[in-house]
Protein backbone atom coordinates (compact mmCIF):
# COMPACT_ATOMS: atom_id res chain seq x y z
CA UNK A 1 0.00 0.00 0.00
CA UNK A 2 2.84 2.42 0.80
CA UNK A 3 4.42 1.72 -2.58
CA UNK A 4 1.07 2.35 -4.28
CA UNK A 5 0.74 5.64 -2.43
CA UNK A 6 4.21 6.70 -3.55
CA UNK A 7 3.25 6.07 -7.20
CA UNK A 8 -0.11 7.82 -6.75
CA UNK A 9 1.63 10.86 -5.30
CA UNK A 10 4.10 10.85 -8.18
CA UNK A 11 1.25 10.72 -10.68
CA UNK A 12 -0.57 13.56 -8.96
CA UNK A 13 2.61 15.61 -8.85
CA UNK A 14 3.18 15.11 -12.55
CA UNK A 15 -0.42 16.06 -13.30
CA UNK A 16 -0.22 19.21 -11.16
CA UNK A 17 3.04 20.23 -12.81
CA UNK A 18 1.45 19.77 -16.21
CA UNK A 19 -1.32 22.25 -15.35
CA UNK A 20 0.77 24.56 -13.18
CA UNK A 21 1.23 27.86 -15.00
CA UNK A 22 4.57 29.59 -14.36
CA UNK A 23 2.85 32.96 -13.72
CA UNK A 24 1.16 31.55 -10.61
CA UNK A 25 4.32 32.33 -8.70
CA UNK A 26 6.81 30.45 -6.64
CA UNK A 27 4.62 30.46 -3.52
CA UNK A 28 2.42 27.70 -4.92
CA UNK A 29 5.57 25.81 -5.93
CA UNK A 30 6.90 25.95 -2.37
CA UNK A 31 3.60 24.79 -0.88
CA UNK A 32 3.35 22.00 -3.40
CA UNK A 33 6.95 20.92 -2.81
CA UNK A 34 6.46 20.95 0.96
CA UNK A 35 3.42 18.66 0.95
CA UNK A 36 4.59 16.35 -1.81
CA UNK A 37 8.08 15.82 -0.39
CA UNK A 38 6.78 15.31 3.15
CA UNK A 39 4.30 12.59 2.17
CA UNK A 40 6.55 10.87 -0.37
CA UNK A 41 9.53 10.78 1.98
CA UNK A 42 7.42 9.47 4.85
CA UNK A 43 6.02 6.58 2.79
CA UNK A 44 9.47 5.85 1.35
CA UNK A 45 10.84 5.67 4.89
CA UNK A 46 8.13 3.15 5.77
CA UNK A 47 9.13 1.02 2.77
CA UNK A 48 12.78 1.11 3.80
CA UNK A 49 11.86 0.14 7.36
CA UNK A 50 9.99 -2.90 6.01
CA UNK A 51 13.23 -3.85 4.21
CA UNK A 52 15.11 -3.57 7.55
CA UNK A 53 16.86 -0.39 6.45
CA UNK A 54 16.86 2.95 8.30
CA UNK A 55 13.83 5.10 7.61
CA UNK A 56 16.01 8.16 7.26
CA UNK A 57 17.80 6.46 4.35
CA UNK A 58 14.38 6.21 2.74
CA UNK A 59 13.80 9.91 3.35
CA UNK A 60 17.14 10.77 1.73
CA UNK A 61 16.56 8.40 -1.18
CA UNK A 62 13.11 9.90 -1.80
CA UNK A 63 14.64 13.37 -1.93
CA UNK A 64 17.27 12.24 -4.43
CA UNK A 65 14.76 10.49 -6.70
CA UNK A 66 12.09 13.20 -6.84
CA UNK A 67 14.60 16.06 -6.74
CA UNK A 68 16.43 17.81 -9.57
CA UNK A 69 19.02 15.02 -9.86
CA UNK A 70 16.64 12.28 -11.12
CA UNK A 71 12.92 12.80 -11.85
CA UNK A 72 12.92 16.57 -11.46
CA UNK A 73 9.50 16.74 -9.76
CA UNK A 74 11.12 19.33 -7.50
CA UNK A 75 13.02 22.12 -9.20
CA UNK A 76 16.17 23.72 -7.81
CA UNK A 77 14.16 26.78 -6.77
CA UNK A 78 11.66 24.59 -4.90
CA UNK A 79 14.46 22.82 -3.04
CA UNK A 80 16.09 26.13 -2.16
CA UNK A 81 12.81 27.42 -0.78
CA UNK A 82 12.61 24.41 1.55
CA UNK A 83 16.03 25.02 3.08
CA UNK A 84 14.39 26.91 5.90
CA UNK A 85 13.48 23.47 7.25
CA UNK A 86 17.19 22.67 7.62
CA UNK A 87 17.83 25.47 10.08
CA UNK A 88 14.78 24.63 12.19
CA UNK A 89 15.68 20.92 12.19
CA UNK A 90 19.29 21.60 13.18
CA UNK A 91 18.07 23.79 16.06
CA UNK A 92 15.66 21.09 17.24
CA UNK A 93 18.26 18.32 16.93
CA UNK A 94 20.87 20.36 18.79
CA UNK A 95 18.42 21.26 21.55
CA UNK A 96 17.36 17.63 21.91
CA UNK A 97 21.00 16.55 21.99
CA UNK A 98 21.69 19.11 24.72
CA UNK A 99 18.72 17.87 26.72
CA UNK A 100 20.15 14.33 26.44
CA UNK A 101 23.53 15.45 27.85
CA UNK A 102 22.98 15.20 31.57
CA UNK A 103 26.33 15.89 33.22
CA UNK A 104 25.86 13.41 36.06
CA UNK A 105 25.03 10.47 33.79
CA UNK A 106 27.61 11.48 31.17
CA UNK A 107 30.47 11.90 33.63
CA UNK A 108 31.51 8.21 33.56
CA UNK A 109 31.66 8.40 29.74
CA UNK A 110 33.58 11.67 29.45
CA UNK A 111 36.99 9.99 29.48
CA UNK A 112 35.97 7.84 26.51
CA UNK A 113 34.30 10.75 24.70
CA UNK A 114 37.34 12.99 25.04
CA UNK A 115 39.73 10.23 23.95
CA UNK A 116 37.63 9.51 20.86
CA UNK A 117 37.38 13.21 20.01
CA UNK A 118 41.10 13.74 20.43
CA UNK A 119 42.37 10.55 18.79
CA UNK A 120 39.73 9.47 16.26
CA UNK A 121 38.26 12.79 15.10
CA UNK A 122 41.43 14.89 15.19
CA UNK A 123 43.53 12.01 13.86
CA UNK A 124 41.11 11.37 11.00
CA UNK A 125 41.15 15.07 10.13
CA UNK A 126 44.93 14.88 9.69
CA UNK A 127 44.63 11.57 7.85
CA UNK A 128 42.12 13.05 5.40
CA UNK A 129 44.30 16.14 4.92
CA UNK A 130 47.26 13.88 4.13
CA UNK A 131 45.16 11.86 1.68
CA UNK A 132 44.00 15.03 -0.09
CA UNK A 133 47.57 16.31 -0.29
CA UNK A 134 48.91 13.14 -1.91
CA UNK A 135 45.85 12.81 -4.16
CA UNK A 136 46.60 16.17 -5.83
CA UNK A 137 47.08 14.57 -9.27
CA UNK A 138 43.40 13.55 -9.11
CA UNK A 139 42.25 17.03 -8.05
CA UNK A 140 42.48 19.61 -10.86
CA UNK A 141 41.62 22.54 -8.57
CA UNK A 142 44.95 22.08 -6.74
CA UNK A 143 47.09 21.96 -9.89
CA UNK A 144 48.38 25.55 -9.62
CA UNK A 145 49.04 25.58 -5.87
CA UNK A 146 52.46 25.39 -4.23
CA UNK A 147 53.31 22.72 -1.67
CA UNK A 148 52.56 24.91 1.37
CA UNK A 149 49.33 26.28 -0.08
CA UNK A 150 48.26 22.75 -1.05
CA UNK A 151 48.88 21.61 2.52
CA UNK A 152 46.67 24.40 3.90
CA UNK A 153 43.81 23.70 1.49
CA UNK A 154 44.15 19.97 2.23
CA UNK A 155 43.81 20.68 5.95
CA UNK A 156 40.63 22.74 5.42
CA UNK A 157 39.16 19.95 3.27
CA UNK A 158 40.10 17.41 5.94
CA UNK A 159 38.11 19.41 8.49
CA UNK A 160 35.11 19.67 6.15
CA UNK A 161 35.02 15.95 5.38
CA UNK A 162 35.45 14.70 8.97
CA UNK A 163 32.19 16.27 10.27
CA UNK A 164 29.67 13.89 11.85
CA UNK A 165 25.89 14.06 12.26
CA UNK A 166 24.04 14.26 15.60
CA UNK A 167 20.79 14.28 13.59
CA UNK A 168 21.44 10.85 12.10
CA UNK A 169 22.64 9.42 15.42
CA UNK A 170 19.54 10.60 17.25
CA UNK A 171 17.19 9.52 14.47
CA UNK A 172 18.63 6.00 14.39
CA UNK A 173 18.69 5.75 18.16
CA UNK A 174 15.02 6.71 18.35
CA UNK A 175 14.08 4.45 15.45
CA UNK A 176 15.80 1.39 16.94
CA UNK A 177 14.89 2.34 20.54
CA UNK A 178 18.58 1.88 21.40
CA UNK A 179 19.92 2.58 24.88
CA UNK A 180 23.28 1.84 26.42
CA UNK A 181 26.90 2.97 26.62
CA UNK A 182 27.43 2.77 22.85
CA UNK A 183 24.58 5.07 21.84
CA UNK A 184 25.27 7.46 24.73
CA UNK A 185 28.99 7.59 23.94
CA UNK A 186 28.39 8.15 20.24
CA UNK A 187 25.93 10.97 20.92
CA UNK A 188 28.38 12.69 23.24
CA UNK A 189 31.21 12.34 20.73
CA UNK A 190 29.30 13.65 17.70
CA UNK A 191 28.09 16.69 19.64
CA UNK A 192 31.50 17.60 21.06
CA UNK A 193 33.30 16.71 17.84
CA UNK A 194 31.00 18.92 15.78
CA UNK A 195 31.80 21.84 18.08
CA UNK A 196 35.50 21.11 17.55
CA UNK A 197 34.97 20.87 13.78
CA UNK A 198 33.23 24.26 13.67
CA UNK A 199 36.14 25.82 15.55
CA UNK A 200 38.78 24.06 13.42
CA UNK A 201 37.08 25.16 10.19
CA UNK A 202 36.98 28.79 11.29
CA UNK A 203 40.69 28.74 12.18
CA UNK A 204 42.02 26.73 9.22
CA UNK A 205 39.94 28.57 6.61
CA UNK A 206 41.08 31.94 7.94
CA UNK A 207 44.76 30.89 7.85
CA UNK A 208 44.34 29.42 4.36
CA UNK A 209 42.72 32.61 3.06
CA UNK A 210 45.60 34.66 4.43
CA UNK A 211 48.26 32.58 2.69
CA UNK A 212 46.27 32.32 -0.54
CA UNK A 213 46.39 36.08 -0.84
CA UNK A 214 42.77 36.76 0.09
CA UNK A 215 43.74 38.59 3.25
CA UNK A 216 42.57 37.68 6.72
CA UNK A 217 42.89 40.13 9.59
CA UNK A 218 43.97 38.22 12.68
CA UNK A 219 42.24 40.57 15.11
CA UNK A 220 38.92 40.54 13.29
CA UNK A 221 39.12 36.76 12.91
CA UNK A 222 39.64 36.31 16.66
CA UNK A 223 36.76 38.66 17.45
CA UNK A 224 34.48 36.88 15.00
CA UNK A 225 35.38 33.49 16.50
CA UNK A 226 34.82 34.74 20.05
CA UNK A 227 31.42 36.16 19.13
CA UNK A 228 30.39 33.01 17.27
CA UNK A 229 31.43 30.71 20.12
CA UNK A 230 30.81 32.63 23.33
CA UNK A 231 28.06 34.83 21.94
CA UNK A 232 26.18 31.76 20.69
CA UNK A 233 26.53 30.00 24.03
CA UNK A 234 25.44 33.10 25.95
CA UNK A 235 22.35 33.57 23.78
CA UNK A 236 21.66 29.84 24.14
CA UNK A 237 21.68 30.14 27.94
CA UNK A 238 19.18 33.00 27.76
CA UNK A 239 16.93 31.02 25.41
CA UNK A 240 17.12 27.99 27.67
CA UNK A 241 16.01 30.10 30.63
CA UNK A 242 13.19 31.61 28.56
CA UNK A 243 11.92 28.19 27.47
CA UNK A 244 12.08 26.80 31.00
CA UNK A 245 10.21 29.83 32.37
CA UNK A 246 7.56 29.67 29.63
CA UNK A 247 7.02 25.95 30.18
CA UNK A 248 6.58 26.45 33.93
CA UNK A 249 4.42 29.59 33.83
CA UNK A 250 2.35 29.30 30.66
CA UNK A 251 2.38 25.65 29.48
CA UNK A 252 -0.42 26.12 26.93
CA UNK A 253 0.91 26.33 23.40
CA UNK A 254 4.44 25.51 24.47
CA UNK A 255 4.94 23.34 21.38
CA UNK A 256 4.22 26.19 18.98
CA UNK A 257 6.33 28.53 21.10
CA UNK A 258 9.24 26.08 20.93
CA UNK A 259 8.87 25.79 17.15
CA UNK A 260 8.84 29.59 16.84
CA UNK A 261 11.98 29.84 18.98
CA UNK A 262 13.71 27.24 16.77
CA UNK A 263 12.80 29.28 13.69
CA UNK A 264 14.18 32.46 15.27
CA UNK A 265 17.38 30.70 16.31
CA UNK A 266 17.86 29.36 12.78
CA UNK A 267 17.01 32.48 10.79
CA UNK A 268 17.82 35.45 13.02
CA UNK A 269 20.85 33.75 14.58
CA UNK A 270 22.60 33.40 11.23
CA UNK A 271 22.03 37.04 10.42
CA UNK A 272 23.64 37.99 13.74
CA UNK A 273 26.61 35.70 12.94
CA UNK A 274 25.65 33.27 15.68
CA UNK A 275 25.85 29.52 15.19
CA UNK A 276 22.34 27.98 15.50
CA UNK A 277 23.81 24.63 16.54
CA UNK A 278 25.74 26.19 19.44
CA UNK A 279 22.78 28.35 20.50
CA UNK A 280 20.33 25.44 20.62
CA UNK A 281 22.85 23.06 22.17
CA UNK A 282 23.64 25.49 25.00
CA UNK A 283 19.91 25.99 25.59
CA UNK A 284 19.32 22.23 25.78
CA UNK A 285 22.24 21.63 28.14
CA UNK A 286 21.03 24.36 30.50
CA UNK A 287 17.45 23.05 30.41
CA UNK A 288 18.62 19.54 31.32
CA UNK A 289 21.14 20.41 34.02
CA UNK A 290 19.77 23.58 35.62
CA UNK A 291 15.97 23.37 35.36
CA UNK A 292 13.09 20.93 35.80
CA UNK A 293 11.65 21.58 32.36
CA UNK A 294 13.60 18.98 30.38
CA UNK A 295 10.93 16.21 30.31
CA UNK A 296 8.17 18.57 29.17
CA UNK A 297 10.28 20.28 26.51
CA UNK A 298 11.55 16.91 25.26
CA UNK A 299 7.93 15.74 25.00
CA UNK A 300 6.94 18.88 23.10
CA UNK A 301 9.78 18.38 20.61
CA UNK A 302 8.66 14.79 20.05
CA UNK A 303 5.12 16.00 19.45
CA UNK A 304 5.91 17.94 16.27
CA UNK A 305 9.41 16.88 15.22
CA UNK A 306 8.41 14.15 12.75
CA UNK A 307 7.49 16.35 9.74
CA UNK A 308 10.50 18.60 10.38
CA UNK A 309 12.95 15.68 10.50
CA UNK A 310 11.39 13.93 7.49
CA UNK A 311 11.75 17.10 5.43
CA UNK A 312 15.24 17.73 6.78
CA UNK A 313 16.59 14.43 5.46
CA UNK A 314 14.50 14.59 2.28
CA UNK A 315 15.76 18.09 1.46
CA UNK A 316 19.31 16.91 2.18
CA UNK A 317 18.75 14.18 -0.41
CA UNK A 318 17.25 16.60 -2.93
CA UNK A 319 20.31 18.79 -2.58
CA UNK A 320 22.61 15.93 -3.57
CA UNK A 321 23.33 16.00 -7.29
CA UNK A 322 24.61 12.53 -8.06
CA UNK A 323 26.09 13.88 -11.27
CA UNK A 324 29.00 15.22 -9.19
CA UNK A 325 30.10 11.63 -8.63
CA UNK A 326 30.72 11.31 -12.37
CA UNK A 327 33.44 13.98 -12.16
CA UNK A 328 34.85 13.39 -8.67
CA UNK A 329 33.76 9.79 -8.11
CA UNK A 330 37.20 8.19 -7.71
CA UNK A 331 38.66 10.68 -5.19
CA UNK A 332 35.30 10.84 -3.36
CA UNK A 333 35.28 7.06 -2.88
CA UNK A 334 38.93 7.21 -1.80
CA UNK A 335 38.22 9.83 0.87
CA UNK A 336 35.11 7.99 2.10
CA UNK A 337 37.28 4.90 2.64
CA UNK A 338 40.03 6.91 4.34
CA UNK A 339 37.50 8.66 6.57
CA UNK A 340 35.81 5.41 7.55
CA UNK A 341 39.15 3.72 8.25
CA UNK A 342 40.38 6.61 10.38
CA UNK A 343 37.20 7.05 12.43
CA UNK A 344 36.65 3.34 13.04
CA UNK A 345 40.19 2.33 13.94
CA UNK A 346 40.85 5.64 15.67
CA UNK A 347 37.83 4.95 17.86
CA UNK A 348 39.06 1.42 18.54
CA UNK A 349 42.42 2.82 19.68
CA UNK A 350 40.86 5.65 21.72
CA UNK A 351 38.38 3.40 23.54
CA UNK A 352 41.15 0.90 24.30
CA UNK A 353 43.26 3.69 25.80
CA UNK A 354 40.24 4.89 27.80
CA UNK A 355 39.52 1.37 29.10
CA UNK A 356 36.01 1.31 27.65
CA UNK A 357 33.84 -1.83 27.59
CA UNK A 358 34.51 -4.27 24.76
CA UNK A 359 31.21 -3.51 22.96
CA UNK A 360 31.98 0.21 22.95
CA UNK A 361 35.41 -0.51 21.48
CA UNK A 362 33.86 -2.72 18.81
CA UNK A 363 30.83 -0.69 17.72
CA UNK A 364 31.16 2.98 18.72
CA UNK A 365 33.25 3.87 15.66
CA UNK A 366 30.36 3.09 13.33
CA UNK A 367 28.33 5.91 14.89
CA UNK A 368 30.85 8.49 13.71
CA UNK A 369 30.47 7.57 10.02
CA UNK A 370 27.11 9.22 9.10
CA UNK A 371 27.00 12.76 7.74
CA UNK A 372 24.16 15.21 7.13
CA UNK A 373 23.47 18.84 7.96
CA UNK A 374 26.81 20.16 9.25
CA UNK A 375 28.83 18.40 6.55
CA UNK A 376 26.58 19.87 3.85
CA UNK A 377 26.76 23.31 5.44
CA UNK A 378 30.56 23.20 5.64
CA UNK A 379 30.78 22.00 2.04
CA UNK A 380 28.71 24.97 0.88
CA UNK A 381 30.64 27.33 3.15
CA UNK A 382 33.93 26.07 1.71
CA UNK A 383 32.64 26.70 -1.82
CA UNK A 384 31.59 30.22 -0.79
CA UNK A 385 34.87 30.96 1.02
CA UNK A 386 37.08 29.61 -1.77
CA UNK A 387 35.11 30.17 -4.99
CA UNK A 388 38.26 29.63 -7.06
CA UNK A 389 38.17 25.94 -6.10
CA UNK A 390 34.86 25.10 -7.77
CA UNK A 391 35.50 21.36 -8.08
CA UNK A 392 36.36 21.12 -4.38
CA UNK A 393 32.73 21.81 -3.46
CA UNK A 394 31.63 19.01 -5.76
CA UNK A 395 34.21 16.71 -4.15
CA UNK A 396 33.03 17.32 -0.58
CA UNK A 397 29.38 17.02 -1.62
CA UNK A 398 30.24 13.70 -3.26
CA UNK A 399 31.77 12.45 -0.01
CA UNK A 400 28.68 13.57 1.93
CA UNK A 401 26.38 11.90 -0.61
CA UNK A 402 28.10 8.53 -0.25
CA UNK A 403 28.17 8.73 3.54
CA UNK A 404 24.52 9.82 3.73
CA UNK A 405 23.41 6.76 1.78
CA UNK A 406 25.72 4.10 3.24
CA UNK A 407 26.72 5.05 6.79
CA UNK A 408 23.24 5.08 8.45
CA UNK A 409 22.70 1.49 7.33
CA UNK A 410 26.05 0.47 8.86
CA UNK A 411 25.32 2.21 12.16
CA UNK A 412 21.85 0.67 12.38
CA UNK A 413 23.34 -2.80 11.93
CA UNK A 414 25.89 -1.99 14.65
CA UNK A 415 23.16 -0.95 17.10
CA UNK A 416 21.24 -4.17 16.43
CA UNK A 417 24.28 -6.44 16.70
CA UNK A 418 25.52 -4.74 19.86
CA UNK A 419 22.25 -5.64 21.57
CA UNK A 420 21.37 -2.02 22.45
CA UNK A 421 18.49 -1.83 19.94
CA UNK A 422 15.14 -2.20 21.68
CA UNK A 423 16.47 -1.50 25.19
CA UNK A 424 14.83 1.91 25.46
CA UNK A 425 11.35 1.31 26.81
CA UNK A 426 8.73 3.16 24.73
CA UNK A 427 6.62 5.68 26.55
CA UNK A 428 2.93 5.19 27.16
CA UNK A 429 2.21 7.95 24.67
CA UNK A 430 2.23 7.20 20.94
CA UNK A 431 5.72 7.62 19.57
CA UNK A 432 5.65 10.66 17.35
CA UNK A 433 8.69 9.53 15.42
CA UNK A 434 7.25 6.18 14.45
CA UNK A 435 3.48 6.37 14.50
CA UNK A 436 1.16 4.47 16.81
CA UNK A 437 -0.13 0.92 16.42
CA UNK A 438 -2.82 2.01 14.02
CA UNK A 439 -0.12 2.90 11.50
CA UNK A 440 -1.22 6.54 11.54
CA UNK A 441 1.25 9.33 12.13
CA UNK A 442 0.52 12.11 14.55
CA UNK A 443 1.37 15.43 12.92
CA UNK A 444 -0.47 17.50 15.46
CA UNK A 445 -4.05 17.47 16.66
CA UNK A 446 -5.11 15.18 13.81
CA UNK A 447 -3.63 12.03 12.35
CA UNK A 448 -2.67 11.48 8.77
Q: Is the pLDDT of residue 350 over 90?
A: yes
Q: pLDDT band for position 442 (50/70/90)?
A: very low
State the average pLDDT over residues 375-401: 75
State the average pLDDT over residues 60-80: 81
Q: Is the pLDDT of residue 31 over 50?
A: yes
pLDDT for the residue 121: 92
Q: pLDDT band for position 301 (50/70/90)?
A: confident
pLDDT for the residue 27: 45
Interval 142-190: pLDDT, tens: 877 888 888 888 998 999 899 888 878 888 888 888 888 898 899 888 8
Give the residue, 324 or 368, on which the prediction is more confident.
368
Q: pLDDT band for position 351 (50/70/90)?
A: very high
Interval 118-143: pLDDT, tens: 899 999 999 999 999 998 888 887 87
Q: Is the pLDDT of residue 440 over 90?
A: no
Q: Mean pLDDT in the chain?
A: 79
Full 3-state SS string of the chain: CHHHHHHHHHHHHHHHHHHCCHHHCHHHHHHHHHHHHHHHHHHHHHHHHHCCCCHHHHHHHHHHHHCCCCCCCCCHHHHHHCCHHHHHHHHHHHHHHHHHCCHHHHHHHHHHHHHHHHHHHHHHHHHHHHHHHHCHHHCHHHCCCCHHHHHHHHHHHHHHHHCCCHHHHHHHHHHHCCCCHHHHHHHHHHHHHHHHHHHHHHHHHHHHHHHCCCCCCHHHHHHHHHHHHHHHHHHHHHHHHHHHHHHHHCCCCHHHHHHHHHHHHHHHHHHCCCCHHHHHHHHHHHHHHHCCCHHHHHHHHHHHHHHHHHHHHHHHHHCCCCCHHHHHHHHHHHHHHHHHHHHHHHHHHHHHHHCCCHHHHHHHHHHHCCCCHHHHHHHHHHHHHCCCCHHHHHHHHHHHHHHHHHHHHHHHHHHHHHCCCCCCCCCCCCCCCCCCCCCCCECCCCEC
State the average pLDDT over residues 376-388: 75
Interval 80-124: pLDDT, tens: 777 777 778 878 878 887 887 777 877 888 889 899 998 999 999
Q: Is the pLDDT of residue 270 over 80?
A: no
pLDDT for the residue 24: 43
Amino acid sequence: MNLVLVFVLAGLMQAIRSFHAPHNGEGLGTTLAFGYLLLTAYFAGTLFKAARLPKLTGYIAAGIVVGPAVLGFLTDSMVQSLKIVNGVAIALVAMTAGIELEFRSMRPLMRTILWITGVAVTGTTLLLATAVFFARPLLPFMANLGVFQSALVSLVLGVVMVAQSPAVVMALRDETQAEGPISRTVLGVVVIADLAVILMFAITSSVAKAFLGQGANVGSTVRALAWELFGSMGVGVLIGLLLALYTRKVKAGSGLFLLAVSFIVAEVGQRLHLDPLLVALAAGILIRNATQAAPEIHHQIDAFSLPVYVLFFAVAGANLHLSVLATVGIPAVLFVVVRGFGLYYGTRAATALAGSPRDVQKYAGFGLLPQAGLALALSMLFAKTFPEFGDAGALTLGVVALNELIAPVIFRVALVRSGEAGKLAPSSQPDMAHGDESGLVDLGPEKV
